[in-house]
Amino acid sequence: MISVYPVHIENGVFTATQVRLPDTNLLIVSNEKAYIMCAALDVSILNTALKERNVIAGRARGVKTIEELLNAPLEQVTDASHKQFGWQTGLTGKEALLKTVE
């Protein structure tokens, strides 16, 4: 099952997407500039093979719900997210996303 719904965080509106798969969930929260995702995201591919795309993204590990994804510290961020929005590991997903609407 796929669920897509809006998530309001302070002055921003984001899209939450949850894909229920056997024994796991794929979790994403995004806007038109960036996204955060569960550990299924391969940040190293975005930083190397897809570097020219300047993808703004971060990954959190061990999350099972959208709420957990928003509140978890990011364990990896793309180089582009660091350069353009100051994302760094340790920011919560929510903190990182809010930097894209300031």
Question: Six-digit token pair at 84?
Answer: 């353009």
Question: What CA–CA distance (Å, rounded) separates 41 from 88?
Answer: 16
- The answer to whether 91 and 74 have CB atoms below 8 angstroms apart is yes
For residue 94, pLDDT over 90 is answered with yes
Is 75:62 a contact under the CB 8 Å cutoff? no
pLDDT of the residue at 50: 86
| Residue range 28-77, pLDDT digits in tens | 999 999 999 998 878 888 888 888 998 888 999 999 999 999 999 999 99
State the pTM of this model. Answer: 0.92
In the block, tokens 């061990």 appear at: 62
What architecture (CATH level 2) is domain 2-98? Answer: 2-Layer Sandwich (3.30)
Q: What does the pLDDT read at residue 29? A: 98
Every domain of the chain and the residues it spans = 2-98
- pLDDT at res. 43: 83
Spatial strand order of the sheet with 2-9 comes to 2-9, 12-21, 24-30, 35-37, 57-59, 76-77
- Mean residue pLDDT of the chain comes to 93
